[in-house]
Amino acid sequence: MLEKEKILQRTRGGLDVFQHYLGADVVPGRKFRNPLYDDKNASCNIYYGNNCGRYFLVDFGDSNLRGDCFWFVSKMFGIDYRNNFEDILRTIDKDLCLGVFNDNFKLKYPVHSGSKTSTSQQLPVIEKTDKEFLPYKIDRNQEMTDEDMEYWSQYGITQSTLSKYHVCSIKTFQSERHSGEQYEVNAEGRPFFGYMFEKDGGIKVYRPNSPLRFMYAGQLPHPYIFGMEQLPFVGDTLYITGGEKDVLSLDSHGFNAICLNSETAKMPQEQLETLSRRFDNLVYLYDMDATGVKESEKRVLEAQFGGINNVYRLALPLSGTKQEKDISDFFKTGHNAEELQRLTEDVLPQQNRRTGLRR
C-alpha cells in the first residue's frame, strides 16, 4: 500500500510514530516499560530491522508483544489490524500531521497529541464507535475574568490577541468519551480556557494548572495548525512554535506565529512548502528542554532534505527547566521583542535579516 510506505518514509521507518505516542525518551537500545500492560520491569526495546527498513518494538518479557509501528497503533487504539488497516494508517497520519491522506475522512478513534507520560494518565482510549466526533457543550464567561487576565498578562498576552484567536473563558465543559460515557469538568476556581475553531466546530480545552491540561471535542482542523487563519498572506518571518500559548505570546509582541498540536507532530510537506513561499524565513522556536531541542533540530534537517532552504532554528537563552523553557517564559522573565528580534537575526543569513516584527 502506497500510503504505508509514505508513512514509513516520513517517520524514519516508524521511529517517529513510537516516539510520538511513547515520548522522545524512547530510543533504540534503551529499555522502557510496555504501555500496553502494567509492566514493572522495563522489558521493552526498540530496534531497527535492516531487512525490512523499519523499527520494531520488542517485549522480552512477553514474546507475543512485538511488532512495527502499525502493529503498535492497532494495539494501542484497539483497531483490527487485518480488517481495518487503513484506519491505522489514517490514525498515524492525522496524529503526526503527515499529510499522506488529503481528504476529509473523519476518524472514529481518539486523536493523541503525544506525551512524555504514561498513556494511563490520558483519558481512556476505548473501543471504536460510530461517532464521527465527540459532541460537547460549554458554559462560558462573557469575557475574561480578572483572574484569567492575570494568568495571560504574565506572558504579555493581551485581551485583543485572545479575541483574535477565539480564546474563551470556560465555567463548565461537558462532553463524552468514545464509549458514549458522558462527563463534566468545572473550572473550580482555576484557569479554564477553550481554543475555539469556529469554522470546523471544534475545541481544544486548556487547563494550565490541572494534571490533565488538554481535552478535545468537536471537529478539529486537519492538519491541526493553530494560528493559520490569523496569518497575513505574506511576511518576513514566521515562527513555528511549541504551543498555542506561545503563538498568543508572540502575536501580542508583534510577531507572526503558528503551532502544531505538539512538538513531535510534523507539518505536511506541502503545507511547509506553501509557507516557505509566503514568508522569507520560517523559524522553529521550540521549548529548550530535551524534546524541544531534538524535535526542532529534526524539523530543520527534514525541511532542508526536502529542498526547503529558508527554514531555521532559534535556541532561546533559557535553562530548559519546567519554569524556563519556552518563548512565553522568555517574555515572562523580562525579555522583550527587540531582544527576540536580535536573536532571530543572528540565526538568519545576512540577506534575510529584515525585521520579523509586523509593521
The strand pair at 256-259 and 235-241 is best described as parallel
Condensed to tens digits (0 to 9), the pLDDT of residues 99-113 reads 888 665 555 554 444
Looking at the predicted structure, is the pLDDT value of residue 122 above 50? no
Q: Tell which of 94, 121, 148 closes a domain.
A: 121
Across 8-12, 23-27, 113-117, 128-132, the highest mean pLDDT is recorded for 8-12
CB 276 within 8 A of CB 282: yes
φ, ψ of residue 115 to 5 degrees: the values are -160, 150
Place 153 in a pLDDT band, splitting at 50, 70 and 90: very high
Q: Tell which of 55, 90, 121 closes a domain.
A: 121
Q: Tell which of 166, 188, 217 closes a domain.
A: 217
Residue 359 domain flag: no
Shared domain check, 187 and 98: no
Residue 97 domain flag: yes
Shared domain check, 246 and 172: no
157-177 average pLDDT score:
94
39-61 average pLDDT score:
82
Q: Which three cell numbers stand for residue 70?
A: 502499525
DSSP assignment of 123-182 equals SPP----S-SSB-EEEEE-SS--HHHHHHHHTTT--HHHHHHTTEEEEEEEEEE-TTS-E
Count of structural domains within the chain? 3
- Which pLDDT belongs to residue 127? 29
Residue 81 domain flag: yes
Condensed to tens digits (0 to 9), the pLDDT of residues 212-245 reads 888 888 888 878 899 998 999 999 999 999 999 9
- Which pLDDT belongs to residue 137? 92
pTM of the model: 0.65
Residue 130 domain flag: no
Q: Which three cell numbers stand for residue 203?
A: 475545541
Of 209, 22, 28, 18, the residue nearest 120 (C-alpha): 22
13-19 average pLDDT score:
89
Residue 223 domain flag: no
- Structural domain boundaries, residue 345: 228-352
Looking at the predicted structure, is the pLDDT value of residue 252 above 90? yes
CA gap 338, 140 in Å, rounded: 36
